[in-house]
Amino acid sequence: MRVLFASITMDIAYSQDKKITIKRYPTKYETEILKKFKYQLVDEEIYTSDNQIELNMFYNTQRKQINVISGGLWDFKEGGVYGVDIDLKITHAEKELNEYLCGVIRELCKKYLKPCILYPGKYSINCQIDDCTLTEDIVKKFLEDFVTAIEGKLSEFRVTKKEEKIEEKVEEQIHKIEKNEVCFGCGKDLKSLDIKHWYDKESDKFFTLCSDCWDKRIKNKTPIKKEEEKEVYTGICPVCHQEFKTTAEIIDGYYVFNCNKCNSTLRVKKEILKEPEKVILPKPVQEPILIPRKDKIKKERSFVKTIAILVIMIFLLSIVSVGGYYFLDKNYTELKEEKQNLEINLITIQNQLENKNSELNSSKSELERVKNNFQENSSELQSLKSGDNYNLHDPLYNEVYQFIKDDHSDDEKILIKNAKNYGIRCAYVTVNIVGSVIKLLGETSSGGMYPLVAFNTIDKGMVYFESNTDYRVFPEIGKSYLNCVEGHPYQSGYISLTNYTITNIIVIW
């Protein structure tokens, strides 16, 4: 429960010479208390207050009945007080004044009561102190300090009341203008139209406009009427027989105007009309302040906000769409190019494949042909190579060389037999030698018939070999045998005693 305990009001007036007069008086219930203080009523003075600051102190109780003591005093001690509220009201508020008052209240609460919670508003400041009790001395000191603080600083916060004045005027004029019927811009009847108000700051006047004229005004930012003065005529419309108000233009001696009731274009002589009442229109201003009605301002702001959001959404959507399109299009183009390249590659590879396949087939045919040819020739060669004791052929030197290398028989008889078994025609050769040699190890060898084997090769003619050593021999009659052996292997191991000369070579096939 909230119970008012003390209240003080300060009326502030500014005199012509800029001096400040402050009248302080308590409210009706606390008069007795405050009379004890130095703040007495000054009823004799008559003045008009320029500003007013009112301070109310309340108890917050725990819903328990508080005993009222005679003379308007409250018994604080018996009541279940758990907190104090201080409300401050300012008639003409200004930002700096409000901030100063908040500071004063905060400091005084801290000094005499407890730290408080402040709720500042434009025309009021609420202060809440929990778990706090009051005594008369504290209240007295609190109020004294409060008044002193206000009196000391108030001259610095001379309230101009400019904003309040404008707002009041706006409200007042809107109220008045809403009763008007004609648009100031086009002269149309405004009863059924959306009304907007134009405040001309310079002339400090309000004009009523229809929404079309308002929109034009907003768009062009130019004064609706440039004429400084216009004559407004009243008369009875011959079409609708109602009284109309309009501005008129003189064309060829006639007044041409529009009836604001039936919207007919009229062309009449001046005599028909009543005497015009001259209305002084404000001078056109460079940048007039346009103040729509508060609710309409809100609506328009909301509409503009919504449109702005939607436009931003469209813009964002466009960006996302364009970005997405660009990204997807890039991907699509790249993929398409890749696909085309792949297709070209595929065709190329397919062609290559066909060519190579054809080439492979022809190569295989060629291989087959060469194989057959080789086979035929090999068979023929094999048949030419083959043979036995009864079918002999003259060999190639390589064949002989290979045979001699592979055959390990030392005896010429066996070697000849082996050669003939392979079909190789081989001769038994006796070389008649005259003279003698002595081996280095001491054995003496005298001349006689020396056995060799021979082949009549196709490519190198007759070739001779020693069967036991496989040395090739080039026997010549009249030559020393030791010199006829290939590589002269015997020249270092034997000493020729006599000539050791070949006298005859007998080749027996």
Binding to another protein, residues 385-414 (CB under 8 A): 385, 389-396, 412-413
The strand pair at 277-280 and 265-268 is best described as: unpaired
CB of 470 to another protein, least distance (A): 19
Which of residues 111 and 364 has its CB atom nearest to another protein in the complex? Answer: 364
Q: Where are the beta strands (DSSP E) in 15-139?
A: 20-26, 51-61, 68-69, 73-74, 81-90, 117-120, 124-130
Out of 169, 201, 428, 472, which residue is the one contacting another protein (CB under 8 A)?
Answer: 428
Query: Quick check: 420 binds another protein (CB under 8 A)?
Result: yes
Out of 310, 319, 495, 497, which residue is the one contacting another protein (CB under 8 A)?
Answer: 310
Out of 234, 350, 402, 444, which residue is the one contacting another protein (CB under 8 A)?
Answer: 350
Query: Quick check: 176 binds another protein (CB under 8 A)?
Result: no
Which of residues 222 and 503 has its CB atom nearest to another protein in the complex? Answer: 503
DSSP code for 441: T
CB of 465 to another protein, least distance (A): 15
Query: Quick check: 71 binds another protein (CB under 8 A)?
Result: no
In the region spanning residues 486 to 505, those forming contacts with another protein, defined by CB under 8 A, are 503-504
CB of 331 to another protein, least distance (A): 5
CB of 318 to another protein, least distance (A): 8
CB of 53 to another protein, least distance (A): 44
Determine the straight-line distance between the first and last CA of the chain, rounded to whole angstroms.
158
CB of 507 to another protein, least distance (A): 7
Which residue type is seen at 294? K
* DSSP track, 209-252: EEHHHHHHHHHH-S-S---SEEEEEEEE-TTT--EEEEE-EEET
**Distance in angstroms (rounded) separating the CA atoms of residues 44 and 58:** 30
Out of 363, 409, 468, 469, which residue is the one contacting another protein (CB under 8 A)?
Answer: 363
Q: How buried is 148 (Cβ within 10 angstroms: 0-12 exposed, 13-18 middle, 19+ buried)?
A: exposed
The dihedral built from the CA positions of residue 80, 131, 134 and 142, taken in this order, carries a sign that is negative
Out of 41, 73, 279, 360, which residue is the one contacting another protein (CB under 8 A)?
Answer: 360
Query: Quick check: 119 binds another protein (CB under 8 A)?
Result: no
In the region spanning residues 439 to 458, those forming contacts with another protein, defined by CB under 8 A, are 449, 456, 458
Using alpha carbons, select from 426, 399, 397, 402 the residue that is nearest to residue 414: 426
Which helix (DSSP H) or strand (DSSP E) does residue 3 occupy?
Answer: strand 2-14
* Residue 339: strand, helix, or coil: helix
Query: Quick check: 377 binds another protein (CB under 8 A)?
Result: yes
Q: Which two tokens stand for residue 321?
A: 């769409």
Out of 111, 267, 298, 371, which residue is the one contacting another protein (CB under 8 A)?
Answer: 371
Q: Of 280-288, 313-321, 402-410, 466-474, which segment contacts another protein by CB under 8 A?
A: 313-321
